[in-house]
Structure 1
């Protein structure tokens, strides 16, 4: 049967005007492909031989289309449809999905397995990610207030579903208060608390947990919607799925942290009922990483869309931005971009070190600046106290770095001042004439914002220390760290080239979906 079909196809091909009296198709003239006739089994030539590389690069010639036009009008061959695919510039016909999954675009370095068609998510995806990042920002700020007001241990149970509704009657409030009375925090610190005082700290922690639930819903529902509408090209489904997993991990880590403040050994005399500083740092670290990922992805979607539509890279920059992006391959801009990511890492590490300061109440020791006692640092004997080592041989003296309040505060001071110096150096380096002419206006404005937030963070940190950690100033200091991170993430994006898909769509209007 198969042999009969092959023979019939061969006879039709011999009688076809497509073969007789018609010039060879351009792809057969290519040195990259053999002039072997197409056999049964539909062996497919490489994609680049069919002119798709020229289509994606925006350099397809009109002469090829003109030569193909008479052929498409006169051919009566069964191979007519295949010929139309060979010669047509129509994106619907020339789409890479016509070819096998192992086909490659040799000229562009793009595999068909990566994307059937270049695509970027719609702007609504970008705004959704930025709004979700804003909710994460809010939950970080509320979490800081919850810790500073010592409200985090007021709810002693984790009820993801039924915990949505707070106590609605006096009896329910009495039952909830009775649970809190059995906690170490009440026994050690709040034994004189009445029901009205308990309600205040309860609602603070309840609001924090409700924000966490809201983030989960705000991620899951739109994610399912955009997936169903097929508006999330790769790699966004996996990326956003990772964000959702981080939201779940964040909730689990939050309860794991609270449990550390409810242990029975905290009832012992002299014990301080508070959560583990390790778990607090992990809880904050997950939130910061989640925020950074969402903000970066949302900004990327919006700026890619702006580039596809207007040719401008960013929402605010003018035509000069395009010149800078082309120049981003130059060593000066590439080095500037690397330095941005180095400072970004320093901001992240400094923020997490602040969680250790908060978890140990290390801001209540050495309330002076720039000195710590008689010098710029406490004595080494105090910094590495054997009392914090749990092994008799003293091999775990490293615990002082994370458990000794004096050492933890010194660590945060050193990291903060190092980050401040690096941020200022990055800002002033952008004024070098050889580099400044390459930077778009948005990058210059973001550099100024970075300098402002870095200075504000230093002043807030010093003020928090000198005034014995007032709630409003400490909360603003924590919020300022996220604002600083936001600024430097945007700064890094402003000198990054548009995505590959955005560049292809900008070069080839036929590939855009209107």
Structure 2
């Protein structure tokens, strides 16, 4: 009986290709949101939905269904069929790419299992990634449904969950791909305090992205476009009367304040992390990678401020989202490298 490999470049290549598709999908999803196209398809048909309208009658039917939802009635009552086609294609492309991604994960995993290429320690991890990808499809539809009956856009908290799941899948895919390519860790790896520091940095990056989704979902970037203050104040008025939970997810001023505050904390922590890394690590490549990560985090913050100052210029906003994804990937790689850094740190002191 053939033994399963300890490492597999083929599995790594499959996972990195899947990670690239996730980046593309998030980019198309961002464009779909910025063009307000996400509610243009009002039904979820996992199989038949891949076929777009092919004649005038089918286009009229799709448009008629869109006319029944609040977004059309309240925001786009004068929309023409030609304009509807423009938003339809963004959402259709997003859904087709999602299906392609699901097939890449599912068929790729099945094929690599049959070829006995998946290291035994990674089988269940890869299976979990496949399951999460298909769960993400359901979450995406629930997000769309949240904007079909009573709202003119999707619920911000659902947008946050949808993006958060995409980023978790991306992080898990990149991490597992690195594991497949490098093989099982030899030695004890980094001390617990350094694992905690790296994990804290990755956690802050993820939190900042989730808060960014709330800002986008609430269109909070269209208000309080000055920086560093917010209409001349540190914290703008918050409508607490609607409840703490509602305010944290829906109040534009509070949502934007949390995003700003977390961004500042992240930037300061990244500098602290890389300074400690340069002081305590004896691996020049790791130190350089930490510096690049910190520069990207601060560049992302600057791009966020520029997006705010331009009252959410579409291209700046899309660039801000894509750079956030790059920051997630780079920070994931940095955290993975720190976790595996055996005999690299000079001491375990704080």
Per the TM superposition, whether the score is higher than 0.5 is yes
Contact 1:280 1:356 in 2 (8 A): yes
> In structure 1, which of residues 263, 267, 277 is the aligned counterpart of residue 156 of structure 2?
277
The match for 1:186 is 72
> In structure 2, which of residues 250, 270, 275 is the aligned counterpart of residue 403 of structure 1?
250
Deviation at 1:339, TM superposition (A): 0.9
| C-alpha separation in 2, matches of 1:498 and 1:373 | 46
Greater RCO (CA < 8 Å, at least 6 residues apart): 2
| C-alpha separation in 1, matches of 2:233 and 2:9 | 54
Contact 1:464 1:473 in 2 (8 A): yes
Q: Please state if 1:211 is matched with 2:90.
A: no
Contact 1:277 1:356 in 2 (8 A): yes
The match for 2:88 is 202
CA deviation map 1:447-497 (0-9, x unaligned) = 121122112111111011111111111111111111111111111222333
Contact 1:446 1:490 in 2 (8 A): no
CA deviation map 1:207-256 (0-9, x unaligned) = 10011000111011111111112222323221111111111111001111
CA deviation map 1:420-456 (0-9, x unaligned) = 1111111222221xx24x22x3312211211221121
Contact 1:304 1:498 in 2 (8 A): no
Which has more radius of gyration? 1
Q: TM-score, normalised by structure 1?
A: 0.64
| C-alpha separation in 2, matches of 1:191 and 1:121 | 57
Cα distance change, pair 178–130 in 1 and its aligned pair in 2 (3 A) = same
Cα distance change, pair 202–372 in 1 and its aligned pair in 2 (3 A) = same
The match for 2:240 is 385
CA deviation map 1:357-403 (0-9, x unaligned) = 1111111111100001232222xxx22531x23xxxxxxx3321112
Cα distance change, pair 477–454 in 1 and its aligned pair in 2 (3 A) = same
Equivalent residue runs for 1:4-83 within 5 Å: none
Task: Identify the structure with the greater helix proportion.
Answer: 2
Deviation at 1:117, TM superposition (A): 6.3
- Structure 1 regions of 5+ residues with no counterpart? 1-96, 98-115, 267-272, 308-324, 390-396, 500-514
Contact 1:261 1:274 in 2 (8 A): yes
Equivalent residue runs for 1:316-395 within 5 Å: 328=189, 334-378=192-236, 382-386=237-241, 388-389=242-243
Q: Please state if 1:303 is matched with 2:182.
A: yes
The match for 2:259 is 412
For the aligned residue pairs, the C-alpha RMSD in angstroms reads 2.1
Q: Please state if 1:237 is matched with 2:237.
A: no
Q: Please state if 1:450 is matched with 2:285.
A: no
Equivalent residue runs for 1:132-151 within 5 Å: 132-151=18-37
Cα distance change, pair 117–164 in 1 and its aligned pair in 2 (3 A) = closer
Equivalent residue runs for 1:288-299 within 5 Å: 288-299=167-178
| C-alpha separation in 1, matches of 2:330 and 2:119 | 27
Equivalent residue runs for 1:217-256 within 5 Å: 217-256=103-142
Cα distance change, pair 183–327 in 1 and its aligned pair in 2 (3 A) = closer
Cα distance change, pair 300–498 in 1 and its aligned pair in 2 (3 A) = farther
May I ask how many residue pairs the two structures share in their alignment? 342
SS of alignment partner, residue 235 of structure 1: helix
| C-alpha separation in 2, matches of 1:144 and 1:406 | 22
| C-alpha separation in 1, matches of 2:334 and 2:227 | 31
Contact 1:121 1:233 in 2 (8 A): yes
> In structure 2, which of residues 312, 328, 336 is the aligned counterpart of residue 485 of structure 1?
328
Contact 2:4 2:116 in 1 (8 A): no
| C-alpha separation in 1, matches of 2:324 and 2:25 | 14
| C-alpha separation in 2, matches of 1:374 and 1:156 | 42
| C-alpha separation in 2, matches of 1:229 and 1:453 | 39
Off by >6 Å, runs of 4+ in structure 1: none
SS of alignment partner, residue 245 of structure 1: helix
SS of alignment partner, residue 288 of structure 1: helix
CA deviation map 1:72-122 (0-9, x unaligned) = xxxxxxxxxxxxxxxxxxxxxxxxx9xxxxxxxxxxxxxxxxxx9684242
| C-alpha separation in 1, matches of 2:294 and 2:340 | 24
| C-alpha separation in 1, matches of 2:123 and 2:82 | 46
| C-alpha separation in 2, matches of 1:374 and 1:166 | 49
Q: TM-score, normalised by structure 2?
A: 0.92
| C-alpha separation in 2, matches of 1:369 and 1:180 | 38
| C-alpha separation in 2, matches of 1:242 and 1:222 | 14
> In structure 2, which of residues 317, 324, 327 is the aligned counterpart of residue 474 of structure 1?
317
